[in-house]
Structure 1
Amino acid sequence: MVESRLSLVIDGPVVGGTGGSVPIDVSEVMAGRAGFVGLPPVELGRDIDWRMDPHRNRSWAMNLHALRWMGGLVVAYEKSGDRALLERAAEIAEDWVRKNPGRGAGVSPWAWAEHPVALRAPALVRLSAHVQAGWLSASLVQHARLLSDPSRYRHGHNHGLDQDIALLTIGCRFRRGRWTELAVNRMGASAAAAIDDQGALHEQAPKYGIYVHRRLGIALDAIRKGGAAVPEGLAERRRSLEAYVSHATQPDGRLVPIGDSPADTRPAGYRNQEETVKVFDRGYVFGRTRWNDRESAYYSIRFGPGRRHHGHEDHLGVTYHAHGRDILVEAGFHSYEKTAYREWTTSPEAHNIPIVVGAKFREGTATRLEHVGVEPARQTFRLADDAYGVVRTRSVLVNHGPDLMAVLDEVPAGAEVRSLWHLAPSLRVVSNRDGRVVLADGNWRATMIQLPAREPEVRPGTVSPGYLRKADTTTVLSAPARAVLTVIVPGTDDPEVSVSDGLITVGGVRFHAWRLTTA
C-alpha cells in the first residue's frame, strides 16, 4: 500500500466501480498522454495543466476532470500487480487535488462541475483501496459534502443517478450512514420520477435509457455490497427500461437516432419483446414487422410533452427503415458543443416534420396522440398540436407486406403546410417529376409519391451518422398546400398508383387518401 505522512485510515468496503466506463490505453497514459471521446491523444506530461482544453470540446474537458482514466490505471494495477501503474495513478490524483482546491480563479470550470464531481468520486474511492493518504481522505470528504448539497443535485436526471452512486461509494468507504442513506433514498425517488411504469425515460433520448440501465445495475450492486436496503421498486424500474431500449432498436441493431442518441449506437444484451408495436405515453411509437429479421420494416413516431433534457424539437417526426435500409432518418446527434450546427440538429427543420408556411415555431409545445389503430399487417396513427399557432395534424399509415408508409399532413383553411423529409445518406435521387421522387441505393430503388402531384424541392442536406461526424444527404420539401400526402414505397421505382373517389391504391395497398384509414 502506498503511504503518506498524513495518513487517515478509511476501512469501509469499496463499491461502485470507478465512475463508469472510459476506455484508456494504459501505455499511452503512462507515457503522459490521454485521449477521450475519440479525439486525438493530447500530451499531458507529468505536471498537468488542468485548465487545458486543446480540442475546445466540452466532453473532452469533462472527461479530463472526471479522472476515470486515472481509475483505469488502478484497475490495470489490480489485474497486473504492476506498482508503477498504482504510483502513477496516485500522482495524477494528488496533482489534481493540489491544483484544484475548489472553485475560483485559475481553476477550470469543469473541475467542480456537478457531473465531473460525481464521476470522479468513485475513481478516488477505488484508489483509496490501495492508497491511504490525508489528501485523498480530505478530498473524498469534500466531494461527499458537495454531493450531499441539495442545490447541486439533479433530481430525475442521469447526472443525479451518478451523484447518488458517488455519494454511496464514499458513504460505504467511510462507513457514514447518513451519506449512504441520503444517496439510496434520493436514488429511489429520482428513478420513480425519471422512469415511468412503461419503462420510458423522461430524458427524451433512448441512448440515455441504455446509460441509466447500466448505471442502475452498478448502483444496485453497490447498495447490496454496502449492506443497505434496495429502495422499493428500483430494480423493477431498471428492468422496465429494457422494453424501452429494445423497442427503440432498429432491425439492423442500431438505436433509432431520436434526441441526443448517436445514430451508430448498438445496444447489446436487451431481449426482444412480444409486441411488434408499442406506444409509450411519454411520446414514442415504435413499430416493426417482426423481431429477429434484419429485413423487417421499422418506424418511429414522436409526440408527447414538450422538449426537455436530451430531447429535440422533433414532434410529429417519423423515421422509416425497410428492406434492411434506412430510408427516412433524423439529423441525429453530433455533439454537445455550443455551435450553430448543434443548435440546428435540435430544431424542427432537422427532423421529418410538417412545417406551417410563414408561421413561427413555438418551442416546447406538447403534441397529442389522437388515434391509434393497430392490426397485425397495418397500423394507423393521428397526431396534432399547435406548435405553429394553428392546428397541424399528421396521420400515419404503415403497411407490412407489401411495405409502405403513408403520411398525411393537414392545416386549417387559410394556412399551408410543407412536409420535410431527410433521406438516408446511402440514398440518391435519380428522378423527380410529376410528384414522384425515385431514390436509389446501388440497384435498389424506392419511390416517394406526393399528392397534390407538384414537383417537390430537392436540396442537399447533412446528418450526423455518429459523434462529431457529418454525412451529406438529400432533403425533400413538398410544395405548399393545405394538405400534403406523402407515400414511401420501398423496393420499386415504378409503383402502380390509382386514385378513385378518395381511395388510393399503391402497389396493391388500398386506403382512404385523405383520412389514411383502411378502405
Structure 2
Amino acid sequence: MSSSISVEKAPHVHPTRMRHIPDDDLFAALGGDSRAWRRRLPFPAGLPAAGADALLGAEVDFLDKGHGRSRLYGFHYLRWMTPLVAAYAESGDQRYADEWERLFRQWYASRDLVEGDWPGLDVVWYSLGVCARSMYVTQALAVLGEAVGEECWKEMMKTVLGGARWAAEEHDEFRHGNWQFATVCELLHTARVFEELPEAEGWAQIAKARIHEHLERDVRADGGHHERSPGYHGMCLDALKRAAAVEPELAAHPRYLAMQDWLAALMTSGGWVPHLQDSGIVWPEGVEPAEGSLNLEASGYAVFRSDIFHTVINYGPYVGHELEPHSHHAALDFVISGWGVPLAWEAGGPPSYDDPGYYDWYQATRAHNTLLVPGHDYTEDRRAACDLFSTTRELDVFKGHHHGYPSRHDRTIVFVRDQGYWVITDRIEAEAIWQVHGLSPWVRHGDGYVSERGPGLLVVPLEPPEQVVLGNGPARIPDPVTRTAEYGEIHSLGLRRRDGRFTVGLFPFTDEPPTIPDGWTVHADRR
C-alpha cells in the first residue's frame, strides 16, 4: 500500500471524550473515584521483571525520532515499561511503582507533541498503539492499584477509557488486517474488564461483531490469517485468546480452533514455526506438531513431514496491506529443517521495518530458496499455484508454478521419505540462478557443494552450473534448547545456468557429508 494512503479513518480524536477527559467525566463514568481494583483480573500482558532495574532513573525522550520511523510508533506502545509492573507484582517494592508513575506521567504529558513520519498515521491514536496501551495499562492498573498516586491513576484510567472510545468509533465496520483484528479483540477485553462503565456493553457489541467478521473473512479456511505470516497470525491468535478469556464462547468457534491447528501444521519437531514472509520465529505454547504431510491450500503452504525432517513450500499469493505488505518477493521457495534445526533457511522478517536491508534483503528474492532471474524484477501479481500435492509412505511430491517473471517458472519437489532426501527440478525459459541458503558457508565436495559444518546439506546438481554465486546475509536462527532465535548469518549458494533448467539433489547430514544414494535422479521431473 502506498504510504500516501491513510490506512485508518480520518482523525476523529475527540478533545474531551478521548484526548483530555475531564476528571468529573471520568468519575461519572466510573461511578466513584476508588483506586482499589474490584473488577475481574485482566488477562496477563507485558514483559517479565528482568530489566526493571535498568529502568530506574532512566532518562527518556518520548519525542525522539531517533527511535526510527516505525519504531517510534512501537515505542509508544509502552511495552518496554512493563517489567516495572512485573517487578512490583513479584516484590512489592515501591520503587518500581514510583518509576512506572514517573515514566507514565512523562509520556502522558508529551503524547500530544509527538510527531510521526508515516503520512496520515498518528503515533498515539492509531489502532495498534491504542490496543497495546490498553493491554499494558490495564495490567498496570490491576497490579499497581493504590501504589501509584491519584494523578497517575486518573491518567491511566483516561488512557484506557479514551482509547476504548476511539477504537469503537474506528472499527465500526470491517477491514482486513492484523491491526484491526487485534484491536477489536482488545476492545472486547476492555469492555468486559471494565463492565461497570456505561459504554462497555456498546463496545462489546461492536467488538464481537467485528471479531466474528474477522474469523469468517480474515481467517482462511485452513485456519491461517489472511496475511500468511506466522508472526502476525500468532499476534491475532494471542489477541483472540485474550478476548476469549473474557468471552468464553469465542473459544468454541471453528476458526479459533483452526488457527491453532494452522500453527501445528507448520510447527517443526524443534517446537518452532519458520519465519515465513514478514515474521519472526514463532514458539507456540500448548501446541504439538501436526502428524504427517499436508497441504494448507487456502494459505498456499505445502508441508512435508517425517520423523526427522520438515519442509514448507510457499506457493501462496502476495498480500498487500497497511503501510508495508508483509509478503515477500518469492514463490515456490522452501525451508527445510532436520534434527530440530534449520538446514535450508531464508531471511525471514527484519528486526525492524526501519532496517536498511528490509527491501533489498529480507523481502528480496535473493534471500529465498527459489530461482532468481537476473535483470528482472519479481512482480507482485505472481499467480502462484499448486499443480500437484501427493503423499505416500515412500514419497511426498509437490508440483507448482508461478508467473512472477516474464517467463513461467515450474518447480517439482520430491521428498524421498525412507532415505530422507529431496530432489528439486526447475524449468524457466530464461537464464536463472538456483538458490539455497544454509547456516554455514558452502564448499566444493565432489560434484556438489556441502555445508561447511553439520547439521547441513550436500547439494548436488545433475548438470554442472556455468557459474557459482556465493553470498550471505542476516537471519534469525532458532535454538530449540533455549527457545530463542537471535540473528546470525546465513550463506547462499547460487547455481547459474543460461538454459534455466535445474535438477538438484539435497542430502542432509549431521556430522559428515553423506554418500549419495544410487538412482536418486529417478525422482527428477523430466519435462
Same fold by TM-score, threshold 0.5 exceeded? yes
**Identity of aligned pairs, percent?**
16
Matching residue within 183, 186, 190 for 1:166: 186
**Residue 428 of structure 1 contacts residue 441 of structure 1 at CA under 8 Å; is this kept in 2?**
yes
1:111-161 CA distance string (max 9 Å, x none): 333311211123333444526655444433321232123379883423223
Aligned partners of 1:279, 1:123: CA distance in 2, in Å? 35
Length, aligned pairs only: 470
Aligned partners of 2:259, 2:309: CA distance in 1, in Å? 23
Partner of residue 468, structure 2: 457
Aligned to 1:331, what secondary structure does the other structure show? coil
Aligned to 1:423, what secondary structure does the other structure show? strand
User: Pairwise mapping of residues 391-410 of structure 1 onto structure 2 (< 5 A)?
Assistant: 391-410=408-427
Structure 1: unaligned runs, 5 residues or longer: 34-42, 225-229, 291-295, 498-504
- Residue type at the aligned position of 1:269: G
Partner of residue 270, structure 1: 287
Partner of residue 430, structure 2: 416
User: Pairwise mapping of residues 237-252 of structure 1 onto structure 2 (< 5 A)?
Assistant: 237-252=255-270
Aligned partners of 1:443, 1:301: CA distance in 2, in Å? 23
User: Pairwise mapping of residues 159-308 of structure 1 onto structure 2 (< 5 A)?
Assistant: 159-172=179-192, 173=194, 174-176=197-199, 177-224=201-248, 230=249, 235-263=253-281, 265-290=282-307, 296-308=308-320
Question: Over aligned residue pairs, what C-alpha RMSD do you find?
Answer: 3.4
- Residue type at the aligned position of 1:342: Y
Aligned partners of 1:340, 1:54: CA distance in 2, in Å? 14
Stretch moving more, 245-254 or 468-477: 468-477
1:381 aligns with 2:398: yes
CA drift of 1:385 comes to 1.8
Stretch moving more, 186-195 or 137-146: 137-146
Aligned partners of 2:456, 2:223: CA distance in 1, in Å? 37
- Residue type at the aligned position of 1:122: M
Partner of residue 469, structure 1: 487
Matching residue within 40, 45, 51 for 2:63: 51
**Residue 184 of structure 1 contacts residue 223 of structure 1 at CA under 8 Å; is this kept in 2?**
no
Aligned partners of 1:445, 1:138: CA distance in 2, in Å? 55
Partner of residue 383, structure 2: 366
Distance 1:166 1:19, change over 3 A: farther
CA drift of 1:219 comes to 1.1
Aligned to 1:469, what secondary structure does the other structure show? strand
Stretch moving more, 370-379 or 444-453: 444-453
Partner of residue 36, structure 1: none
**Residue 18 of structure 1 contacts residue 72 of structure 1 at CA under 8 Å; is this kept in 2?**
no
1:274-295 CA distance string (max 9 Å, x none): 33334332110111113xxxxx
1:366-399 CA distance string (max 9 Å, x none): 2011111211220111111211122211111111
1:114 aligns with 2:127: yes
Distance 1:424 1:73, change over 3 A: same
Distance 1:217 1:260, change over 3 A: same
**Residue 399 of structure 2 contacts residue 410 of structure 2 at CA under 8 Å; is this kept in 1?**
yes
Partner of residue 516, structure 2: 495
Distance 1:164 1:76, change over 3 A: farther
TM norm structure 2: 0.78
- Residue type at the aligned position of 2:127: E
Matching residue within 321, 324, 327 for 2:343: 327
1:466-513 CA distance string (max 9 Å, x none): 57834152322232214211111224455255xxxxxxx22xx73354
1:25 aligns with 2:39: no
Distance 1:286 1:112, change over 3 A: same
Aligned to 1:66, what secondary structure does the other structure show? coil
CA drift of 1:270 comes to 0.7
CA drift of 1:178 comes to 0.9
Structure 2: unaligned runs, 5 residues or longer: 1-21, 32-37, 478-484
Aligned partners of 2:364, 2:456: CA distance in 1, in Å? 30
Aligned partners of 1:141, 1:398: CA distance in 2, in Å? 55
- Residue type at the aligned position of 1:195: V
CA drift of 1:328 comes to 1.7
Aligned to 2:27, what secondary structure does the other structure show? coil
Aligned partners of 2:172, 2:94: CA distance in 1, in Å? 37
1:68 aligns with 2:61: no
1:436-486 CA distance string (max 9 Å, x none): 323144477743222333344131221312578341523222322142111
Matching residue within 104, 119, 143 for 2:163: 143
Distance 1:182 1:447, change over 3 A: same
CA drift of 1:182 comes to 0.9
Aligned to 1:448, what secondary structure does the other structure show? strand
CA drift of 1:428 comes to 3.0
Aligned partners of 2:389, 2:174: CA distance in 1, in Å? 35
CA drift of 1:260 comes to 1.9
**Residue 90 of structure 1 contacts residue 127 of structure 1 at CA under 8 Å; is this kept in 2?**
no
**Residue 51 of structure 2 contacts residue 83 of structure 2 at CA under 8 Å; is this kept in 1?**
no
Distance 1:21 1:191, change over 3 A: farther
Aligned partners of 2:375, 2:65: CA distance in 1, in Å? 42
Partner of residue 430, structure 1: 444
Aligned partners of 1:297, 1:83: CA distance in 2, in Å? 51
Distance 1:257 1:373, change over 3 A: same
TM norm structure 1: 0.80
CA drift of 1:201 comes to 1.8
Aligned to 1:478, what secondary structure does the other structure show? strand
